[in-house]
Amino acid sequence: MEVMRRAVGALRGCRVLVVDMTHGGVALSEELLRRDCEVTCLDVHRTLSNEDVERLKLQGLRVAKREDEVLDVGEFDVIAVQHAPRSLKLFSKALEEGVPVITHARAVGIILSEEKRDVKVVEVTGTNGKTTTVSMVAKAALDYGLRVLVHDSLSTKFMSEGGVELLASGLSITPANVLKAWRISEERGLRPDMCVFEVSLGGTGAADVGVVTGILENYPVSYMVNAFNSKLQMALNMDGRGVLVLNGDDHYTRRFLHVFRGTSNVYGFEGGVQVRGEVLSRGLKSGLSVRGVIDGLRGVSGGVLSCEFSFNLKPQLFGKYQALNALAALTTLLSLGFDVEHACSSISSFEGVDGRSKAQFREWGVLVDCVNRGVNVPAIVHAIKEAVNVKLEGEAKRVLAVIGGSERATCELVDSVKLAKELKAISEVDKYFLSEALGLRLRELGLEGVAAPSIEHAEKLAEEEAERGAPSIVVVCYNGG
């Protein structure tokens, strides 16, 4: 029997194989070094440059480029993986030889749970609505006078009464970058009261409140198989002292409560349980008015809340799905123990997030900005359907849609065939303007539209068309750089 030569503890003083250096593996490996681990990095996607490899080796990391270099899995105590084919031999050998395989997210959760101390942590995952929900929660915490560390798909920043300090930009929302954001704030001597993290693949397990905004697209996810299984980690990784916030209007997400050993608070318009909302009125220029009932909501402190609520969303937040994001934020805030009136007041003054279905008012009507790297099939279809609803309600004469970019939205492929089929079924769109790879593919699949060489040109053509038929709504959907 092998004799333990180091201190025993979760991810301390052990031998770890970190698989996938492309999606946060470097950050996780560096954190494990801090915990006196012997770390081997498998660059399964071959994205490390020679300079990267040399830098990592100088830090004390062993770097492997091929699977056959690490097939003697018995030399590891733990394997941590993010994106990698399940068919790799090292995973079956790990099962045979009794080597635990965990996700990067689980590893991050083990580390952050030790380090966060009394700092409250919120993690938000889902296929749509994450960034807006994070922004709403962070704003409410700031309005309450708290110091907030935020890491989302826009940036990493520290928010306080003294202002907003940008800590980093361009970091992805892969789980390991939660630790990177935490470390950056620590190195700058910043002391948050709360952290709000957007996480791409489930939750790390370190959250006091974990939020799943829904799974509108169950796309493939290599090692985790699909979006459903990856988001399920939010429920599986959290301990029973936390609160799980779930979108009850989403049939995938609401089942998570059956496998979570702690408290779940379910929100929604049709499927809400603890938080049930109703849209009272909506107008293109007046926004949405929402009211509802809170029924037996349990917070992290153990209290139980039952009452009524109401808030108004500014017209910049375009579409009913923005109200669903607001319900997610409200449920999160109440789960943390925030006052209902304060939470609703903060949500009512929220201005929206650029690129996330944000309405911009022009002389000819409204431009709906859906320009971000994560724009996927549900985001495009929902935005256009909402615009059509406005037209049918008589607040616009025409709906013009601009679509361009790539057939990949962040880490998921855009199902062009599905998108083309769904768009062709929306007969009330007056004209499409299609550009770049995604637009070209949609034209090949039979979606009629004006071809444009770039998204800028397509948007210009759409705005010129809008001026000839005001009031119009122009929906711009683009996932390029």
pLDDT tens, residue by residue, 452-477: 999 999 999 999 999 998 899 999 99
* Model confidence at 54: pLDDT above 60: yes
Lowest-pLDDT choice from 73-82, 219-228, 242-251, 371-380: 219-228
Angle at 126 between CA 454 and CA 403, to 5 degrees: 15
Angle at 144 between CA 143 and CA 148, to 5 degrees: 80
The pLDDT assigned to 223 comes to 80
pLDDT band at 240 (very low <50, low <70, confident <90, very high): confident
Q: Which residues contact 78 (CB under 8 A, 6 or more apart)?
A: 11, 14, 15, 16, 17, 99, 100, 101, 102, 107
Higher pLDDT, 240 or 7: 240
Mean pLDDT along residues 91-99: 96
Class for domain 358-478, per CATH?
A: alpha beta
Q: How far apart are CA 40 and CA 42, in angstroms?
A: 7
- Terminal C-alpha separation, the chain: 54
Q: How far apart are CA 393 and CA 423, in angstroms?
A: 20
Using a pLDDT cut of 70, give the percent of the chain over it: 97
The pLDDT assigned to 5 comes to 47
**In what side-by-side order are the strands of the sheet with 431-435?**
358-362, 365-371, 472-478, 398-404, 431-435, 450-452
Give the number of other Cβ atoms within 10 Å of residue 345's Cβ: 13
Q: Which residues contact 54 (CB under 8 A, 6 or more apart)?
A: none
Angle at 15 between CA 14 and CA 20, to 5 degrees: 125
Q: How far apart are CA 282 and CA 286, in angstroms?
A: 7
Mean pLDDT along residues 100-112: 96
Q: Does domain 15-99 have CATH number 3.40.50.720?
A: yes
* Model confidence at 16: pLDDT above 90: yes
Residue with tokens 């609505």: 129
**In what side-by-side order are the strands of the sheet with 62-64?**
62-64, 38-42, 15-19, 78-81, 101-103
Q: What letter represents residue 397's amino acid? A: K
* Model confidence at 228: pLDDT above 90: no
- Per-residue pLDDT tens digits for 321-372: 999 999 999 999 999 999 999 999 999 999 999 999 999 999 999 999 999 9
The pLDDT assigned to 3 comes to 44
Q: How far apart are CA 209 and CA 405, in angstroms?
A: 34
Q: What residues pair up with 283 in beta bridges, in sequence order?
A: 287
List Cα–Cα distances, 310 to 141, 275, 280, 288, in angstroms.
19, 11, 10, 11
Mean pLDDT along residues 205-209: 97
* Model confidence at 408: pLDDT above 80: no
pLDDT band at 8 (very low <50, low <70, confident <90, very high): low
Q: What letter represents residue 297's amino acid? A: L
What residue spans define the domains of the chain?
15-99, 109-348, 358-478
Q: How far apart are CA 279 and CA 393, in angstroms?
A: 15
The pLDDT assigned to 216 comes to 86
- Per-residue pLDDT tens digits for 419-451: 999 999 999 999 999 999 999 999 999 999 999
The pLDDT assigned to 1 comes to 41
Q: How far apart are CA 321 and CA 308, in angstroms?
A: 21
Q: How far apart are CA 29 and CA 51, in angstroms?
A: 17
The pLDDT assigned to 90 comes to 96
- Per-residue pLDDT tens digits for 63-82: 999 999 999 999 999 999 99
Domain with residues 109-348, CATH architecture: 3-Layer(aba) Sandwich (3.40)
| Number of Cα atoms under 13 Å in the Cβ half of residue 220 | 8
Average pLDDT value over all residues in the chain: 94
Burial, 188: exposed, middle or buried (Cβ in 10 Å; 0-12, 13-18, 19+)? exposed
* Model confidence at 411: pLDDT above 80: no
Mean pLDDT along residues 52-61: 95
Mean pLDDT along residues 267-280: 97
List Cα–Cα distances, 29 to 56, 176, 182, in angstroms.
9, 9, 15
Give the number of other Cβ atoms within 10 Å of residue 220's Cβ: 11
pTM of the predicted model as reported, rounded to 2 decimal places: 0.94
15-99 and 109-348 share one fold:
no
CA-based nearest residue to 243, from 207, 269, 296: 207
- Per-residue pLDDT tens digits for 252-270: 999 999 999 999 999 999 9
The pLDDT assigned to 227 comes to 85
Mean pLDDT along residues 145-153: 97
| Number of Cα atoms under 13 Å in the Cβ half of residue 21 | 24
Q: What residues pair up with 431 in beta bridges, in sequence order?
A: 400
- In the three-class reduction of DSSP (H, G, I as helix; E, B as strand; rest coil), residue 296 is classed as strand
